[in-house]
Amino acid sequence: MEFEWLNSCIADETIELVLVFNEKGDILFGNQSAVQKLEYDKEELIKCNMMQIFRQDFLEGDNGDQTFEKETLESKKETAMYRKNSSCFPVNIHIIPSKEAGIYVLMAEDISRQKDMNARIRKLKEEEQENQKARNEFTANVTHELRTPVNGIRGHVTTLLDQIQDEEQRKTLDIILYCCDNMSAIINNILDFAKLESGKFTIDEKEFDFYKMMDRVIATHSAEINKKELRFSVDVDEKIPRLMIGDELRIVQILNNLMSNAIKFTMVGYINIVVSKTSQVNDEIELFFMVRDSGIGISQAEKDRLFQSFSQVDASITRRFGGTGLGLAITKQLIEMMQGSIHLESEKGKGSTFSFSVKLRTNQSINENNDKIYGAWANFAKEEDKKGGDVFTSFGEIDKNEELKKRMDKLVLSIELSAWDKAEMLAATIKTLIDTDNDDLKKQVLRMEMAIRKSNYEKSMDMYEKVKKLLSEQIGEI
Ligand code: ADP
């Protein structure tokens, strides 16, 4: 009776079930919601004991009696409440004791709908995972099967190229080869993507020469950069040890993807790679890479979608430049597998900077010498940097020859001054600037480099003269 006011004011208004009970578990009050949900009459409910409502929470004692222990109930958050007809429903409960009055207020929230919903979501998720698995397996099988005919076409076209002399026909065959390579790249991307999605992708841990890796990446793209007459520079932190342990092929894949995008979307200006060592804790090294371009750039709105799979900035770009929109999604996942992250800074029309970090290992100690076998390109950029001038150097055909002449000039001066470090850097750069079929010239440059490395003045000068003569025949008076 004394709870009537409570009944009318609050308890009946709430959608939660409210039960008030005493030390013995006798129910003294049940609100409207409790009456409805438990399917008792109001009078019946207040004759019940909590043990009838919360049957799961009270165990039979040794003598066959059940005892009501409110502590058992208090320790629960989620439990079940039983209706008059012995069916039950799940609830979240909360008990507020009023010690002086010796009574307890229990509030319960019916979570059947929530539970149903969770079960349905779980089922949908499981179904989606199954579908995804089937899709990935299908993709992996189809792409694998596609590789065989593409390789077949490639092999036959290469054989034909050896047999056919006609220029026009050779051009057509070259185009077919180019298309095969594009197709292989797309197939590989789809295969990688399927593997990454199904969690079958693993990262290798093998020792590799970091500087040789960088040289290989640069060699892969230099022809395309030259063709577009873009300025190109590479700046590699000399504190990076030569021998690293990690997945070389995947780092190359990341760099190749960023580089080919940079070249694809840059018509004039420059491309620049920067690599630095950001931290080393024992044998673990963090490297930071930047690939910068002065290309078409990417707007803020477009940036957000960029690392999602199959996303290209707009459809007209696909028509103009091709691509599947998978490259950056794969790149991002590969980087994350190497405990790194990728970022983009870009402004429409002004160019883009993609930067990323990866964690690798090394057995080389921090102070160990790198044998001075730095990548030729790294030295080149450093040298340009030291001059305080333009770090970007043009590799258009004419500029390249000018550059060669300039470097030959500086080289003889360095040899004469016995500035061997500088001479070695210059010789390495000269070697990379010469792309020639002239084997004799290549050999002489190599010998010159060896003589300089050994700081042998006589031999270095001798070889220098030979290289100069051969180069003059090729590019004009030096
Ligand atoms: P795709 O394989 O089609 O090139 P990516 O995931 O590598 O796919 O790139 C997705 C899209 O991001 C590209 O189609 C292009 O619109 C944009 N993009 C990527 N890199 C650059 C860049 N350096 N400059 C301008 N746009 C870029």
- Please tell me the residue having the least CA distance from ligand 1 atom 18: 261
Structure tokens that stand for 245 in this block: 């342990």
Query: Would the CB of 106 count as within 6 Å of ligand 1?
Result: no
For residue 396, give every residue at least 6 positions away whose Cβ sits within 8 Å of its Cβ, in sequence order, or none.
Answer: 226, 229
What is the 208 CA–ligand 1 centroid distance (Å)?
Answer: 29
For the stretch 337-383, pLDDT in tens is 999 999 999 988 889 999 999 999 998 765 454 444 444 444 444 44
pLDDT of residue 398: 54
For the stretch 238-252, pLDDT in tens is 889 999 999 999 999
Q: What confidence tier does 421 reach under pLDDT thresholds 50, 70, 90? A: confident
The three-state secondary structure class of 187 is helix
The three-state secondary structure class of 293 is strand
Query: Would the CB of 52 count as within 6 Å of ligand 1?
Result: no
- Closest ligand 1 atom number to CA of residue 297: 25
pLDDT of residue 353: 94
For residue 20, give every residue at least 6 positions away whose Cβ sits within 8 Å of its Cβ, in sequence order, or none.
Answer: 3, 27, 28, 29, 30, 103, 104, 105, 106
- Please tell me the residue having the least CA distance from ligand 1 atom 4: 323
The three-state secondary structure class of 111 is coil
291 and 258 Cβ atoms separated by less than 8 Å: yes
Average pLDDT score, the chain = 83
What is the 61 CA–ligand 1 centroid distance (Å)?
Answer: 71
For the stretch 200-249, pLDDT in tens is 788 989 999 999 999 889 988 988 898 888 889 998 988 899 999 999 99
Beta partners for residue 292, in sequence order = 272, 353
The three-state secondary structure class of 422 is helix
Q: What confidence tier does 132 reach under pLDDT thresholds 50, 70, 90? A: confident
Q: What number is the average pLDDT over the span 430-445?
A: 79
Burial 354-386 (b: 16+ CB within 10 A, else e): bbbbbebebebeeeeeeeeebbbbbbbbbbbee
The three-state secondary structure class of 295 is coil
pLDDT greater than 50 at residue 459: yes
User: Hunting for tokens 């996303």 — which residue is that?
Assistant: 311
What is the 307 CA–ligand 1 centroid distance (Å)?
Answer: 9
pLDDT greater than 50 at residue 390: no
For the stretch 137-162, pLDDT in tens is 888 888 888 888 999 999 999 999 99
For the stretch 85-106, pLDDT in tens is 999 999 999 998 887 888 999 9
What is the 204 CA–ligand 1 centroid distance (Å)?
Answer: 27
The three-state secondary structure class of 18 is strand
What is the 137 CA–ligand 1 centroid distance (Å)?
Answer: 27
pLDDT greater than 80 at residue 324: no
The three-state secondary structure class of 1 is coil
Structure tokens that stand for 293 in this block: 């371009």
- Please tell me the residue having the least CA distance from ligand 1 atom 9: 325
Task: Give the H/E segment covering residue 4.
Answer: helix 4-6
Q: Flag the least confident range among 268-272, 331-335, 390-394.
A: 390-394
Query: Would the CB of 396 count as within 6 Å of ligand 1?
Result: no
The pTM (predicted TM-score) of the whole model is 0.54
Between 132 and 117, name the one with better pLDDT.
117
For residue 197, give every residue at least 6 positions away whose Cβ sits within 8 Å of its Cβ, in sequence order, or none.
Answer: 132, 136
